[in-house]
């Protein structure tokens, strides 16, 4: 049983964000040893009685961030410039991913990756591994040892990829099934069936992935869709009869709840309706889309149709692990009004899309991404005075929106004083 006294940020059942300047968070281990929120609200000495108390004056406790799309093997690709998506894959990404045939390399990168996610306050992420089963084992072993709620999968790519990363259809599906058995539901871990994208998967591989998805409804699906115009044209040539890029995934049974598609930039309203009606969600990856010149996600159209989405870093196409940078870039992308309708996304909506909203997209509402009673106690401790400019700006904030915008615009890993997982308290983030 633990008690935390601090300012608190969390979402009420109607999804509105609430700020408690002097709050109390009580957590208690469940039968699996996972700390869950037992109470959240204003400070009360009476309620805190009998709990082990930590008092963090001047800090803000907020839900841990949920990243809907990231490639852990691309840690060493971040910041590699290219003409666009397809040359970037050829020149940098496939070269780095081929190194994951070596389990020692996979283990070293997995350790670095999880340390970095923790340092940035990300407590759950839907993660691409490579086409080597060992790349999944390396990440899952580390995540399990840390008691994390983490979701990952082995990349399926049996065509249009070089030796070293291209896999073989039958073996790729067999290994996926073995990895589901080995990792899905173990501790807080989950497995994601991971076709890289339509061009890299044969019809047989997509069909096999769809069959596995039907046999394992609790397992996630992750892939990419409608990121870049050259990629879309390639898909059109490969599947000339399909109505759209997204429709190919539908054809193979890969659109359902718990399926998350990165990008979704070049969608029409029929695609958006298909996403909504199938229960799938988009991982919005603005730093990646800006870096690779892919385009601007249309948040107005997504909201108009009611298509679900959440935020993602997409490292290494993305340029930062920081949820603050991703929220800032989402705001820029929303603002863009030349090729679509521009808007000013509210700071509460940005924060929601990277925490409780992203958790909902995963089907994990009430589990992570919030601090209501029953949620797993994955949270961050934010220092709103971490830099001189931020301290100065925050001191003048007149409303919750002004406080949140100051954190989003000026924030980065320096604000994350601690990241606390429902399993264990970590002090490695400098706290
Ligand atoms: Zn990606």
19 alpha carbon – ligand 1 mean position (Å): 33
253 alpha carbon – ligand 1 mean position (Å): 21
428 alpha carbon – ligand 1 mean position (Å): 28
188 alpha carbon – ligand 1 mean position (Å): 23
Four-CA torsion 421, 1, 364, 110, nearest 10 degrees: 20
Per-residue pLDDT tens for 256-269? 999 999 999 999 99
Per-residue pLDDT tens for 204-235? 999 999 999 999 999 999 999 999 999 999 99
318 alpha carbon – ligand 1 mean position (Å): 8
71 alpha carbon – ligand 1 mean position (Å): 6
Report percent pLDDT > 90 for the chain. 96
9 alpha carbon – ligand 1 mean position (Å): 30
283 alpha carbon – ligand 1 mean position (Å): 9
Tell me the C-alpha distance between 279 and 182, whole Å.
26
Q: Is the pLDDT of residue 431 over 50?
A: no
285 alpha carbon – ligand 1 mean position (Å): 8
314 alpha carbon – ligand 1 mean position (Å): 5
Burial letters for 253-289: b for 16+ Cβ neighbours within 10 Å, e otherwise?
bbbbbbbbbbbbbbbeeebbebbeebebbbbbbbbbb
224 alpha carbon – ligand 1 mean position (Å): 6
225 alpha carbon – ligand 1 mean position (Å): 9
374 alpha carbon – ligand 1 mean position (Å): 32
**Computed from CA positions of residues 311, 313, 318, 322, in that sequence, does the dihedral angle turn out positive or negative?**
positive
128 alpha carbon – ligand 1 mean position (Å): 8
State how far the alpha carbon of 258 is from the alpha carbons of 78, 160, 195, 212, 278, in Å. Answer: 27, 27, 14, 13, 10
241 alpha carbon – ligand 1 mean position (Å): 26
Mean pLDDT, the chain, integer = 96
Residue 429: the pLDDT is 37
Backbone angles phi, psi at 366, to 5 degrees: 80, 0
196 alpha carbon – ligand 1 mean position (Å): 8
Confidence bin at 424 (pLDDT 50/70/90):
low
**Greatest CA span in the chain, whole angstroms?**
67
342 alpha carbon – ligand 1 mean position (Å): 25
87 alpha carbon – ligand 1 mean position (Å): 14
Chain Cα centroid distance, residue 280: 14
Q: Is the pLDDT of residue 79 over 50?
A: yes
Per-residue pLDDT tens for 84-137? 889 999 999 999 999 999 999 999 999 999 999 999 999 999 999 999 999 999
Confidence bin at 83 (pLDDT 50/70/90):
confident
Residues 6+ apart with CB under 8 A from 256: 213, 217, 221, 278, 279, 280
316 alpha carbon – ligand 1 mean position (Å): 8
73 alpha carbon – ligand 1 mean position (Å): 11
Q: Is the pLDDT of residue 427 over 50?
A: no
DSSP readout, 147-188? T---EEEPEE--SSS-TTT---HHHHHHHHHHHHHHHTTSTT
């Amino acid at each position: 049983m633990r008690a935390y006294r601090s300012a608190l940020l969390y979402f009420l059942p109607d999804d509105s964000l609430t700020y408690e300047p002097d709050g109390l968070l009580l957590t208690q281990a469940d039968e699996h040893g996972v700390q869950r929120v037992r109470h959240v609200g204003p400070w009360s000495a009476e309620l805190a009685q009998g709990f082990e108390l930590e008092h963090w004056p001047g800090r803000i406790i907020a839900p841990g961030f949920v990243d809907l799309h990231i490639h852990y093997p691309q840690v060493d690709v971040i910041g590699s410039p290219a003409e666009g998506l397809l040359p970037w894959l050829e020149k940098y990404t496939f070269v780095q991913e081929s190194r994951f045939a070596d389990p020692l390399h996979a283990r070293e990168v997995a350790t670095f990756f999880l340390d970095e996610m923790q340092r940035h306050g990300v407590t759950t992420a839907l993660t691409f591994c490579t086409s080597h089963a060992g790349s999944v084992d390396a990440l899952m072993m580390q995540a399990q040892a840390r008691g994390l709620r983490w979701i990952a999968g082995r990349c399926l790519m049996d065509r249009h990829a070089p030796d070293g990363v291209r896999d073989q259809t039958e073996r790729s599906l067999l290994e996926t099934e073995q990895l589901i058995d080995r990792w899905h539901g173990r501790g807080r871990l989950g497995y994601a069936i991971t076709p890289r994208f339509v061009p890299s998967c044969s019809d047989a591989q997509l069909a096999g992935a769809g069959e596995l998805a039907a046999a394992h409804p609790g397992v996630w699906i992750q892939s990419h869709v409608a990121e870049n115009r050259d990629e879309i044209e390639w898909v059109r040539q490969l599947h000339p009869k399909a109505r759209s890029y997204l429709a190919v995934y539908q054809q193979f049974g890969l659109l359902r709840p718990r399926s998350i598609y990165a990008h979704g930039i070049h969608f029409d309203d029929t695609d958006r309706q298909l996403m909504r009606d199938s229960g799938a969600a988009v991982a919005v990856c603005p730093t990646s889309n800006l870096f690779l010149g892919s385009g601007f996600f249309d948040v107005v159209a997504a909201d108009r149709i009611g298509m679900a989405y959440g935020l993602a870093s997409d490292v290494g196409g993305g340029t930062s692990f920081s949820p603050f940078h991703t929220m800032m870039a989402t705001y820029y992308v929303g603002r863009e009004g030349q090729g679509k309708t521009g808007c000013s996304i509210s700071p509460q909506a940005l924060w929601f899309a990277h925490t409780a909203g992203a958790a909902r997209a995963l089907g994990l509402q009430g589990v992570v991404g919030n601090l209501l009673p029953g949620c797993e106690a994955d949270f961050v401790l934010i220092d709103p005075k971490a830099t001189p400019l931020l301290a100065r700006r925050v001191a003048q904030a007149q409303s919750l929106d002004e406080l949140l915008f100051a954190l989003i615009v000026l924030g980065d890993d320096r604000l994350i004083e601690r990241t606390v997982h429902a399993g264990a308290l970590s002090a490695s983030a400098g706290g």
